[in-house]
Structure 1
Amino acid sequence: MDGLRTLSVLEHEVITIVGSDTEQAIASLDTSGTWLTDTEAQALLRLNDSRRGFCQRVSGGIKLAQYCGIVRLQTCMLEILPKIGMEDIRSAQEIERARGVLLTMLHGARLTVTASGLAPQQMVRAPLLDIFIEAFLHSALEQARRGLLCRYVPHRDNLTVLKGRFHTHGHIRQNLARPHLLHCEYDEFTPNNPYNCAIRTTLDTCRTWIRRSATQRLWLETHARYANITTTNMTSAAVAKLPRNRTTRRYATVLTWCEWLLSMASPSLSTGFTQAPGLLFDMNKLFEAYVGNQVEAQSSDAFYVQRQGPAAPLAMMAGDTEAFLLKPDITVWHATMDGSPTHLSRILDAKWKRLNPQMENWGVAQADIYQLLAYAIRYQCAQLELVYPAPSSVMDTTALPVFRIATDQSATSDIQIQIRTMQVWA
């Protein structure tokens, strides 16, 4: 990715489209500005085919949705970061704070962003792709230090002594004029297997993407550990199909990084096709995973936390046909001594949206309250929570509203929907 300019933008931001793709027109523009050419904009819009609602064409440019991460275009790298400020206009330091928020959430959601060699101040200033590559390099280096995974790999070769099984047909085809050789089939226990080949391929792929000299030095150290591994043309899909079991469990993190980084090395760019490969995270799902892990960490052994469930229909139709399937983001249950759930304590729903104390009902959507009310009725639970990300600016969390929905004359049986915020920056 040498020579690609980098655009750092925020989710839901509108990126300006310049009117001409000619070299002369582009050369006259500010290379540090936030703009896209018509060709780049069309490539970005095609990403909607694989990620519905990623962006849309609006007056004056392209408006992004809730996806954050990296998109690789032919002529630029788009770095999309979460919007955390209350103001609609981007502040001077918001890009750095937003980068820190995304990294914190990825780490808090246990999505393989591990400790890197960057200091916190350097991390929020470094390009997001460099940070991802450095996390991959640290993960690959850790596996090399622990010892590379070895597997039995089948081989066929002409040898001077018998090894494994003698292959008669192969011997006749290849060694009639070489009686001193034997064509053998054998299994060799070697680190030169598909798991390590995936790491080596990813190392070779991402080398030209690195910008920081410190990351380059880490790449050289990691590459030296995998120098004897064969380079192959593995794709992200091939890495995803590698068998996973208890013996390969320690490779789970580094293989995930291989999938993600190789997905950005789309061959379509070199063949002229304008599909834009990227490494993107749906902030709704990421925030949900982040909240789930935080709730688990804060809950005692007396509670059991369940994600995405239990699923239950809201209604039934004729013939006992289920209708309107419900699946809460997080449910917290009282648990027995052995950890088995007994009865429901509360239901949480994570919303990657901004609260605004200046708006009516703090900007809480009416549809979200209806959703929680459906949970309360179906699961017979009176304690529910809507969890929002805490903004980077100061907010009086003690004033967060509690919506009470009366069910009968007894106030003790009222349904309570508590609005909560969760800090998402370090």
Structure 2
Amino acid sequence: MGGLRTVTVLEHEVIPVFEGDHVPGISEAAPQWLSEAEAQALLRLNDLRRGFCQRLSGGIKLAQHCGIVRLPTCVVEVLPKVGMGDARTADELERSRGALLAMLHSARQVAITKIGSAPQQAVRAPLLDIFIEAFLHCALEQARRGLISRYVAHADDFPVIKGRFQAHGHVRRNLARPHLLHCEHDEFTTDNAYNRAVRATLNACRTWLGNGNTQRLWFETHARYASISSVRMSAKDVASLPRDRTTHRYAPLLTWCEWILAMASPAMSAGATQAPGLLFDMNKLFEAHVAKREEDAAGPDQIVRTQGPPMHLAVRGATGVFLLKPDITVWRVGQNGAASSIDRVFDAKWKRLNPAVPDYGVDEADVYQLLAYAMRYGCSALELVYPMPDGLAAHLPPPAFKIMTAGDDQNSEIVVTVKLIPLWTRDMSTPSMQDPRLTEAETEYAAA
């Protein structure tokens, strides 16, 4: 993949599509185009991720999925739109890439370790290079801490009994060799399925390396796993590996293995069942990012819940209808330590606002949805959470909408507050050491 060109675009942008192999007027410095064959391959991803892209006159328009898509002749890098304007600014790609990495790390989708000696350079590199380098750092750190060892069954011929003597195997193999005995024994070794998954991932990404520093890091990491058997493994094989407390520290590393091996699979072939890349639904990613921030800000007397608790808005006979499932709810803790009463309801929206209009560009349907939450959950403090776009003054007070009601009871006043969440700042805090998915080395994250 190292020889493939990278097409970097923002979500909701249109990528020009040209017919034929020769594309006039497109320079090597700006390879933001697709051939007709690449466009058709990209459109087939809609079978796996509905609404990923659509065909328009002259190009392909992308939706809210961001990440990497591997095509046979190029790598498409889709980044989130973080600016206020429709037109792309000069440094928006770097800032968008940094925002995506920050949200992925904050939402615990992936552990981003320190990348390179200068974090400022990380967001200028393509996502593929960043992900591979993060995987290599993660694999190298686990090797330094000691590779996981497991008992692995071995069967061979020995001059003396070692382990369990296998009579049937001995008759088949050693009938003419009486000096050997066929035995089976368990060996406590690092050459097991977990480390073989890492070795298989190293082999898969070997040809994708384009940066000299990343190549040196690959050789250093590969040397640590040189004694591990080189076998072919798929992302499905890695996902099926048993997980327990003894493999807990390998969890981020195995996640990297799954994702990189998924990119290495020929998913564009007929009958494929897996997208050829790392794609993240920005609606779900932003929701997880907001939930993590609320969990960090919650006090000891508060509990933060995501996706619920689900309740039906109405009933028809004995059957509940119109299921409600808020993105995030904050509850007050009772004396028994359980959630006693609801404090706030959040609804996270990956949308752009318009501060120039009275309603701030808030969708009416989003407000109506919050009002349904207020009625069913008995909560008057409602918040619509949006990403804070670059170019919007952070000191501006967030707008609040007082819901007009027929009664005059002030205690029943319902307020919908718009909350803007920064995606990525220079003083972004380091992830919590208490997160079970992160090791000591994986808590080091620097934002440029």
CA distance in 2, matches of 1:16, 1:62: 7
Cross-structure match for 2:2: 2
Q: Distance between the aligned counterparts of 1:212 and 1:240, measured in 2?
A: 29
The answer to whether the Cα contact below 8 Å between 2:101 and 2:112 also exists between their aligned partners in 1 is no
- The alpha-carbon distance between structure 1 residues 286 and 271, as it changes in their structure 2 partners (threshold 3 A), is closer
**Secondary structure of the equivalent of 2:419?**
strand
With normalisation by structure 1, the TM-score equals: 0.95
Matches within 5 A, 1:21-170: 21-22=20-21, 25-26=22-23, 29-31=26-28, 32-118=30-116, 119-170=118-169
* SS, match of residue 173 in structure 1: helix
CA-to-aligned-CA distance 1:373-397 (integer Å, 9 cap, x gap): 1111110111010000001103365
Deviation, 1:182, is 0.8
What residue is the counterpart of 1:352 in the other structure? 350
Paired residue secondary structure (1:125): coil
Partner of 1:214: 213
Equivalent residue of 2:186, what SS? strand
C-alpha spacing 1:269/1:51, structure 2 compared with 1 (3 Å): closer
AA aligned opposite 2:390: S
Amino acid at match of 2:333: A
Q: Deviations over 1:297-327 (max 9, x none)?
A: 1111121111111111111112x11211111
Q: How does 1:267-282 map to 2 (within 5 A)?
A: 267-268=266-267, 277-282=276-281
Contact 1:303 1:339 in 2 (8 A): no
Unaligned runs of 5+ in 2: 426-448
Conserved? CA contact 1:69–1:81, under 8 Å: yes
Alignment of 1:14-413 (within 5 A): 14-18=14-18, 20-22=19-21, 25-26=22-23, 29-31=26-28, 32-118=30-116, 119-268=118-267, 277-318=276-317, 320-336=318-334, 339-395=337-393, 398-407=396-405, 408-413=407-412
Residue 27 of structure 1 deviates from its aligned partner by: 7.4
Aligned pair count? Answer: 422
Whether the 8 Å CA contact 1:305–1:333 is kept in 2: the answer is yes
Q: 1:249 to 1:222 in 2, by over 3 A?
A: same
Alignment root-mean-square deviation, CA: 1.9
Does structure 1 retain, via aligned residues, the 8 Å contact 2:354–2:361? Answer: yes
Residues 1:275 and 1:418: Cα distance change in structure 2 (over 3 Å): closer
Q: Does the CA-based 8 Å contact 2:196-2:231 persist in structure 1?
A: yes
What is the CA-CA distance between 1:7 and the residue it aligns to?
0.9
Superposition deviation, residue 120 in structure 1: 2.5
Aligned partner of 1:235: which letter? Answer: S
8 Å CA contact 1:113, 1:132 repeated in 2 = no
Q: CA deviation at 1:55?
A: 0.3
1:46·1:276 contact (CA, 8 Å) conserved in 2? no
Between the aligned partners of 1:109 and 1:233, the Cα distance in structure 2 is 31
| TM-score, normalization by structure 2 | 0.90
CA distance in 1, matches of 2:246, 2:316: 48
- Rounded Cα–Cα distance in structure 2 between residues aligned with 1:94 and 1:177: 74
